[in-house]
Chains A and B, each alone.
Chain A
């Protein structure tokens, strides 16, 4: 049988995925970054078809951190809903960035619940509303115009669900690349263009394990911080590693490193985190997590030349 292949190119090389037959289920569990997510079709709900990038995260276990019941239908914000956040819908046409009239996704607060209402770039007629409470483990997802089968974690829902799981657990989602080498985990944080992927590629070339080259979830288990990749941003096997050093990176002509402590370390890191925290309590929890991490893991700014010398420099300065 001749298999078709598909690939997703990345700066770390190409990953050729053996295309697998679609699987349809009424329910399944995913483990992503240690979060156990159960997707369950409601009685009148659609067949669930997990996308291939989540296949390696499917687990067979009955417990869950959150159960998302998937329904056919729509749910809009009530008159008393308060809109908290709007992500504009920006598309690129012929090199020009254009903002559409409709929003990409929005977050509302209503009677103690949150509503995420979203469009799907890959399924233009499909819309969804995720209704949930941060205090409860059963969430409801209403999907319209999806047909009789659908991927309940289609982008952007995948990242949004993971984001709120990090918020519930006081974990951190951050723009960073992470590598694990000789028993040590290094995290390189920076916004777009700072060199996260470049850094990951340099370590990849010497045989380090790259956890991810762009976004990480950081979780705290009994005072030990670990970084996790997710299938949201790249097709990959689940990976995680402890974090021993944190670097705030930027390109330069020469390699240099300056330790950063206390409030400076916290403030520089929070600006690289992905967050749309909407209440002082959420913000305080998030700030507490970053602060605790900075109190336990050395943080430094790192200016680097994009060649192997930076690896030698880092290892020499351990």
Chain B
């Protein structure tokens, strides 16, 4: 279960490409790129993605998000938890 102290890392089975301010993510399964499961991240999602580095915990990510974007802390916390939950389910990040 994700907590404020949880620290996440990018999955090693993901290939990413930053294009402009967004990201394209392609999972690699059984040595093959899974083109049916290509993900994209918008600017704010990309911002969170770049903060997930195996060192920052969830609380630090939320705080950084509120500093960068015009968003209150409670909304940021809700969005970050939701985002991390989705990415975990898609196996894009792991603890």
Q: Main SS of chain A's interface residues?
A: helix
A224 at the A/B interface (Cβ < 8 Å)?
Answer: no
Please tell me if the beta carbons of B20 and A262 are within 8 angstroms of each other in the complex.
Answer: yes
Q: Main SS of chain B's interface residues?
A: strand
B17 at the A/B interface (Cβ < 8 Å)?
Answer: yes
Please tell me if the beta carbons of A283 and B20 are within 8 angstroms of each other in the complex.
Answer: no
Q: How far is the CB of A259 from chain B (nearest CB, A)?
A: 13
A:278-295 near B, CB below 8 Å? 278-280, 283-284, 286-288, 291, 294-295
Please tell me if the beta carbons of B28 and A283 are within 8 angstroms of each other in the complex.
Answer: yes
B23 at the A/B interface (Cβ < 8 Å)?
Answer: yes
Please tell me if the beta carbons of B31 and A84 are within 8 angstroms of each other in the complex.
Answer: yes
Q: How far is the CB of B31 from chain A (nearest CB, A)?
A: 5
A192 at the A/B interface (Cβ < 8 Å)?
Answer: no
Q: How far is the CB of B4 from chain A (nearest CB, A)?
A: 29
Partner of B17, one of A273, A276, A279, A291: A291
Partner of A283, one of B22, B23, B33, B41: B33
Partner of A267, one of B15, B32, B33, B40: B40
Give the distance in Å from the alpha carbon of A273 to the alpha carbon of B24 in the complex.
15
B:1-51 near A, CB below 8 Å? 15, 17, 19-24, 26, 28, 31-33, 35-36, 38-42
Q: Scan B32-72; emit 1 where CB is below 8 A from any A CB, else 0.
A: 11011011111000000000000000000000000000000
Using known A-B contacts A287-B15, A288-B17, determine if residue A262 contacts B28 with beta carbons closer than 8 Å. Answer: no
Please tell me if the beta carbons of A84 and B32 are within 8 angstroms of each other in the complex.
Answer: yes
Question: For A271, what are the chain B residues with a Cβ–Cβ distance below 8 Å?
Answer: 35-36, 38
Question: For A261, what are the chain B residues with a Cβ–Cβ distance below 8 Å?
Answer: 20
Question: For A35, what are the chain B residues with a Cβ–Cβ distance below 8 Å?
Answer: none
Question: For B24, what are the chain A residues with a Cβ–Cβ distance below 8 Å?
Answer: 263, 266-267, 270, 287, 291
A313 at the A/B interface (Cβ < 8 Å)?
Answer: no
Partner of A291, one of B19, B32, B36, B41: B19
Question: For A255, what are the chain B residues with a Cβ–Cβ distance below 8 Å?
Answer: none
What total of chain B residues lie within 8 Å of the partner, measured CB to CB?
20
Question: For B41, what are the chain A residues with a Cβ–Cβ distance below 8 Å?
Answer: 263
Using known A-B contacts A270-B24, A271-B38, A291-B24, determine if residue A263 contacts B19 with beta carbons closer than 8 Å. Answer: yes
Give the distance in Å from the alpha carbon of A275 to the alpha carbon of B38 in the complex.
14
Question: For B28, what are the chain A residues with a Cβ–Cβ distance below 8 Å?
Answer: 280, 283
Give the distance in Å from the alpha carbon of A283 to the alpha carbon of B20 in the complex.
19
Question: For B21, what are the chain A residues with a Cβ–Cβ distance below 8 Å?
Answer: 262
Question: For B31, what are the chain A residues with a Cβ–Cβ distance below 8 Å?
Answer: 82, 84-85, 278-279
Q: How far is the CB of B53 from chain A (nearest CB, A)?
A: 18
Please tell me if the beta carbons of A270 and B20 are within 8 angstroms of each other in the complex.
Answer: no
A277 at the A/B interface (Cβ < 8 Å)?
Answer: yes
Question: For A273, what are the chain B residues with a Cβ–Cβ distance below 8 Å?
Answer: 35
Q: How far is the CB of B29 from chain A (nearest CB, A)?
A: 11
A264 at the A/B interface (Cβ < 8 Å)?
Answer: yes
Question: For B35, what are the chain A residues with a Cβ–Cβ distance below 8 Å?
Answer: 270-271, 273, 275
With contacts A264-B22, A275-B33, A291-B19 known, what are 7 further pairs, Cβ within 8 A? A84-B32, A85-B31, A263-B19, A263-B40, A266-B40, A267-B38, A288-B17
Q: Which residues of A line the B interface, CB within 8 A?
A: 82, 84-85, 261-267, 270-271, 273, 275-280, 283-284, 286-288, 291, 294-295
In order of increasing CB-CB distance, the 3 nearest A-B pairs are A263-B22, A263-B40, A262-B20
